[in-house]
Amino acid sequence: MRARLPSPAAPLLGLVLLAAAIAGCGSSSDGNGIAKKTPAQIIEGAKILADQATSVHVSGSLVSGGSPITLDMYLLANKGGRGQLSENGLSFELIQIHGTVFIKGSPAFYRHVAGATAAQLLQGRWLKAPANTGNLASLGSLTNLRQLLDATLGAHGPLVKGAITTVDGREVLAVTDTSQGGTLYVAATGPPYPIQVTKSGAGAGRIVFDHWDGAVSVTAPANVIDITQLTGH
């Protein structure tokens, strides 16, 4: 999870790691009984429930290293994921399925990473590489549901449980990591899934989890260029 990504995607992994730092918290509510639990119990319960999920939609934005980053990903347990990411306006589509990562960049993205001439050749094409090796390896973690959940619900500092509030019209309970200044909101009614992570300050951002166990399909794209054949790796 902590391997570095090639520029300009490096801060994207920072998004996930930042979520881990600010969100190692759980929550609860009177509606589903978790409001009576300790923060540590809430975290453990939320992690167990999330680990059992078959899929989730993850979206949001934040600032990492001074760069604005956004993501919109659908993740499918034990298979992979698909979606879109961007950094400083440089966007690309990302698919990971059965151990292979595929990327299709915008014209601006390809010009930035490969130059104007190569960008013309790559326009509309997908790049392909193994998910566990090569320059695209770290991107695979962004589409791994289990790794993302382990990061988001991982280590934390002292926790403070807040009051029940609402996020996007849904009742949630907030738990704040006082050492990091981040807050995790967990559903206060129904299954106590993680709903949102927020952080203020220099790394301000908001990451939303929704559509838990929703229908998600992930398929390999066509029109692919195999990076390993181009680089010999």
| Digit-coded pLDDT (tens) for 170-216 | 999 988 888 877 888 999 999 999 999 888 776 788 889 999 999 99
Pairing type for strands 224-226 and 126-130 reads parallel
Q: Three-class SS of residue 12?
A: helix
Q: Three-class SS of residue 25?
A: coil
pTM to 2 decimal places: 0.79
Determine the pLDDT at residue 99. Answer: 86
Q: What is the DSSP string of 26-95?
A: ----TTTTGGGS-HHHHHHHHHHHHHT-SEEEEEEEEEETTEEEEEEEEEETTTEEEEEEEETTEEEEEE
Determine the pLDDT at residue 154. Answer: 66
CATH of domain 10-220: 2.50.20.20
Residues 175, 39: Cα–Cα separation, whole Å: 7
Hey, what are 230's tokens? 């181009």
Q: Across the strands, what pairs with 209?
A: 58
Q: Output the CA–CA distances (angstroms, integers) from residue 104 to 72, 138, 222, in the order listed.
A: 15, 16, 11
| Digit-coded pLDDT (tens) for 62-103 | 777 677 889 899 999 988 999 999 988 889 999 999 889 999
Question: What single letter denotes the amino acid at residue 37?
Answer: K
Residues 19, 51: Cα–Cα separation, whole Å: 16
Show the DSSP H helices in 140-222 as ranges.
Answer: 145-152
Task: Using the structure block, give the residue that is written with the tokens 């639990």.
Answer: 37
Hey, what are 226's tokens? 């195999």
**CA pseudo-torsion sign 75, 81, 82, 85:** positive
Which residues are CB-neighbours of 32 under 8 A, at least 6 positions away? 187, 188, 189, 190, 191, 192
| Digit-coded pLDDT (tens) for 18-60 | 343 333 333 333 478 888 888 878 877 888 888 899 999 999 9
